[in-house]
Amino acid sequence: KQEVTQIPAALSVPEGENLVLNCSFTDSAIYNLQWFRQDPGKGLTSLLLIQSSQREQTSGRLNASLDKSSGRSTLYIAASQPGDSATYLCAVRLYPGTASKLTFGTGTRLQVTL
Amino acid sequence: EAGVTQFPSHSVIEKGQTVTLRCDPISGHDNLYWYRRVMGKEIKFLLHFVKESKQDESGMPNNRFLAERTGGTYSTLKVQPAELEDSGVYFCASSFSRDRGRKTEAFFGQGTRLTVV
């Protein structure tokens, strides 16, 4: 059974700092991994999707890496801003093709302070 | 392009009552998923439709939950009768059916917060 763990559960950093969020999964036979952010009372916004054959994906100040063999992914946020405050979730998908279900971690709640 | 929309955004019902949640996926998305997050826990999969057919309903907690997707468009999730432990946020997601790399990316709605009292 796939289990996804995110560390830390909560993080507070001052504006401008670079930070890393961690995600680990127990079954390395994943098809892809997706990072989301969730703002309070809102839905999930997809940030980055990494296929199992890829090592990293970048979008603006965000960089996600994937080490499938060790069951780890990291989300790097550069030059953090107060608007980055949200809960960040990683989720893995086991099967290709018709897009199987996602298995989620419990998330990291990030607060970026002024 | 409209995203995934869910109705209602909030619902407060008494134990034993019935509630129906609705999800309108992104137009053209054959895959539709329901997920749920209960307090303090991770988001968990409930079921997956491909068009109007149930592809995987292994996450449905019990027979008080009934999901339908008539005509392969919008979907409803009915809870009857509702229990206290059903409280949580119910998310719907949709995606294309073909494996085209990023096209399998799931897009989520804003969720329905259900409170059973």
Percent of chain B with pLDDT over 70: 93
Interface touch A36/B59, C-beta < 8 Å: no
DSSP state, B25?
P
In whole angstroms, give the CA distance from residue A92 to residue A100.
10
**pLDDT for res A98:** 47
pLDDT for B93 = 94
Instruction: Locate A30 and state its tokens.
Output: 């994943």
- Using a pLDDT cut of 70, give the percent of chain A over it: 96
Q: Is B101 exposed, middle or buried (0-12, 13-18, 19+ CB in 10 A)?
A: exposed
Nearest Cα residue to B112 out of B14, B3, B23, B15? B23
Which residues, 6 or more positions from A33, have their beta carbon under 8 angstroms from its beta carbon? A23, A25, A49, A50, A52, A64, A66, A73, A90, A91, A92, A93
Residue B103 pLDDT grade (very low, low, confident, very high; cuts 50, 70, 90): low
Kindly determine whether residue A42 and residue B110, on different chains, have CB atoms separated by under 8 Å: yes
pLDDT tens digits, A22-64 = 999 998 889 889 999 999 888 899 999 998 999 999 999 999 9
Range with lowest mean pLDDT among A81-85, A97-101, B51-55: A97-101
Counting every residue, how long is chain A?
114
Distance CA A40, CA B57 (A): 28
For residue B53, give the amino acid letter.
S
Q: Is some CB atom of chain B closer than 8 A to the CB atom of A98?
A: yes
Model confidence band, residue B101 (pLDDT cutoffs 50, 70, 90): low
- Asked if A45 has any chain B CB less than 8 Å from its own CB, the reply is yes
Mark yes or no for CB contact A102/B106 under 8 Å.
Answer: yes
Q: Measured between beta carbons, which residues in chain B are less than 8 angstroms from residue A102?
A: 33, 35, 43, 45, 93, 106
Q: Chain A: give the shortest CA distance to residue B97, in Å.
A: 5
Q: What are phi and psi of B41, to 5 degrees?
A: -115, 170
Task: Please write the tens of the pLDDT for every residue from B63-100.
Answer: 999 999 988 899 999 999 999 999 999 999 998 876 55
Average pLDDT value for residue range B10-28: 96
What is residue B13's predicted lDDT score, i.e. its pLDDT?
97
Pairing of the two strands A32-38 and A86-93: antiparallel
| Residue A81 pLDDT > 50 | yes
In this predicted structure, the answer to whether residue A103 has a pLDDT above a threshold of 90 is yes
